[in-house]
A and B are shown apart, each in its own frame.
Chain A
């Protein structure tokens, strides 16, 4: 028998009530973790430095409208431009899975502009030598179980081949890692030459240009210079940083983030009510016993500490377990849905701290009011309660 025994026995005063409260805490913090992970993935919280410096030039009206391939040399000629290349939207899917990103690109140029793509020399060489080859980000390869040497059919919702089919077959020549889980992590890269020759229409066009300044001009000026080059032409452009585009793209999920936040808030509030009610009731049931303990010589301070510890025990261990389970759930999801969440699913330190803070808030928020109210009474008043 020590003080902890007393706390522990009090915690299990009504076992069923305790179990249900703990279950509620378990569910809430599991949900919290999974939803935080999804929210993080949907709001693109970390954007790499490269993304901040790379410029993306698209059709002025929309990212999906096409630009002439001839713009590349015109952008390259502008002063302040160090390198430029392009990519296009292929809009393909593998079997019945949801669409994911495939970009037909000029391999060496694109890789040079995207140094965060890590590809072994052997894979790189193999891809350069195979016109019908492709490389793919690891999350996608993992989800679909692709290995180097596999031939994979990709059905495009835009592009038909000259022979009328919209199913394209590519040979996987390499699997790459995107070191900062950035914009390319879940992408499949194809050879533009092969793609342009084989497609039935719109030959000689590209989706957008990617460029990098040489540092002689401020980015703002460089972006303005690129757009000025094509002003008053039939195909005007809009240039911005890749990060800004990514943000804009993520904006369409912004509402989901908001909804998730709202759900979380509601759920946390509910659990606060549930545990608050439980704890308050449990404290009320033992006001008389607090009087007995004080009679024996326990101080208000020590009764306060014992009760607070009990509140923490009700929430923290189960809450932490729930977050660990949620983390496992996210790891499972990102393995199973790599193409959907190429940057992986997980929660950052910030979310972990937020979860812990919530646990503290819930347990303290429910224990402190009734215990403070009880301990304000003197011993006689405590003992006189039935």
Chain B
């Protein structure tokens, strides 16, 4: 049996808006194994991004526990959480979120600034990551000089450069055309299959979801099994 990596127990999240309390997630329990590739689907506003943020330690649940590798990250202080994130999670966003003032290589190098690696080793890691996403020859390009697909590849290189075990992707192909989306999905699949990355990916696109080992459905804050249509 595969090793368990992520476990959510009775996780709920609500936001307070003035006097009103908005309940976004309710009683979510979930287990994800090492090396798994999980798709997360659901209508807009159903809480997919919120759930992903809880997994990645960007946000804290109002109730319940988020454990990663046996560690309750929902209990960590902001400083400890930041450090934990830098070592364990790579994020990939829909709109890439590259810094416009930095070249591709420097964007990729950003997470390494938080490590104690010497400059030469950092450079090595950056080159490796860029080669892996097939953009080695674009290292000195600025984001504005890259296509959307290329930007997303750089973002993926940035997410994997410090070799975290988990990749969290929020609609990574949401802004790309079909062919480019397929390339990005192939890349994520490769990272999962050949490099053992555990991936949780939010998507609206059934085609993208088909790359996942299993797909979870979120509706009105509650987790359900996959409807027949997508499996």
Q: Which of A349-386 contact B (CB under 8 A)?
A: 378-380, 383
Chain A residues lying within 8 Å of B53, measured Cβ to Cβ, are 379-380
CB of A296 within 8 Å of the partner chain = yes
Total contacting residues, chain A, CB less than 8 A: 25
CA distance A279 to B98 in the complex (A): 21
CA distance A292 to B82 in the complex (A): 12
Chain B residues lying within 8 Å of A94, measured Cβ to Cβ, are none
Interface range on chain B (Cβ under 8 Å from partner): 20 to 34
Minimal beta-carbon separation of A289 from chain B (angstroms): 6
CB of A278 within 8 Å of the partner chain = no
Stretch at the interface among B30-38, B109-117, B145-153, B181-189: B109-117
B58 touching A295 by the CB < 8 A rule?
Answer: yes
Stretch at the interface among A3-11, A37-45, A100-108: A3-11
CA distance A314 to B91 in the complex (A): 32
Chain B residues lying within 8 Å of A13, measured Cβ to Cβ, are 100-101
A298 touching B82 by the CB < 8 A rule?
Answer: yes
Residue of B with least CB distance to A301: B79
CA distance A302 to B197 in the complex (A): 29
CB of A260 within 8 Å of the partner chain = no
B114 touching A297 by the CB < 8 A rule?
Answer: yes
B58 touching A6 by the CB < 8 A rule?
Answer: no
Known: A297-B114, A298-B114, A380-B59. A1 touches B85 (CB 8 A): no
CB of B48 within 8 Å of the partner chain = no
A299 touching B113 by the CB < 8 A rule?
Answer: no
Minimal beta-carbon separation of B114 from chain A (angstroms): 5
CB of A294 within 8 Å of the partner chain = yes
CB of B86 within 8 Å of the partner chain = yes
Minimal beta-carbon separation of A65 from chain B (angstroms): 72
B58 touching A379 by the CB < 8 A rule?
Answer: yes
A9 touching B113 by the CB < 8 A rule?
Answer: no
CB of A12 within 8 Å of the partner chain = yes
A1 touching B86 by the CB < 8 A rule?
Answer: no
CA distance A295 to B79 in the complex (A): 12
CA distance A260 to B126 in the complex (A): 56
A3 touching B85 by the CB < 8 A rule?
Answer: no
A-B contact sample (6 more), CB < 8 A, given A295-B85, A378-B59:
A9-B99, A10-B101, A289-B99, A295-B97, A297-B86, A297-B111
Residues of chain A at the chain B interface (Cβ within 8 Å): 1-3, 5-6, 9-10, 12-13, 288-289, 292-301, 378-380, 383
